């Protein structure tokens, strides 16, 4: 069910605009934490000190930042397209 943006109240309109941005931080943190946990598991499995945790932690940071930038670019493009359609 789509709602007409013209009919939304002030707070409803604000949530509709901000909503897509709210999960981005959680997504970034979840990516990093998951990769660190995988690295930690590999360190224990192969009896290493911290090399896999470091490698996978850095991989998590880079992939999380890539995802963040990709999502932000998509949302900004979507916002501009909707403004141009008006």
- pLDDT tens, the chain, 86 aa long: 566 656 667 887 788 788 888 889 899 999 999 999 999 999 999 999 999 999 999 999 999 999 999 999 999 998 888 888 86
Whether 10 maps to a domain, the answer reads no
Whether 17 maps to a domain, the answer reads no
Alpha carbon distance 9, 41 (integer Å): 49
pLDDT in tens, 55-73: 999 999 999 999 999 999 9
User: Do 65 and 73 contact (CB within 8 A), yes or no?
Assistant: no
Whether 11 maps to a domain, the answer reads no
Tokens of 1: 């069910």
Whether 42 maps to a domain, the answer reads yes
Number of domains observed in the structure of the chain: 1
Whether 64 maps to a domain, the answer reads yes
Whether 4 maps to a domain, the answer reads no
Domain that holds residue 48: 22-85
Whether 43 maps to a domain, the answer reads yes
């Amino acid at each position: 069910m789509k709602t007409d943006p013209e009919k939304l109240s002030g707070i409803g309109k604000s949530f509709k605009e901000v909503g897509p941005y709210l999960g981005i931080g959680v997504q970034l943190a979840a990516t990093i934490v998951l990769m660190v946990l995988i690295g930690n598991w590999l360190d224990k499995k192969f009896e290493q000190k911290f090399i896999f945790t470091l490698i996978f932690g850095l991989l998590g940071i880079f992939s999380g930042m890539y995802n963040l930038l990709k999502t932000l670019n998509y949302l900004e493009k979507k916002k501009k397209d909707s403004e141009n359609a008006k």
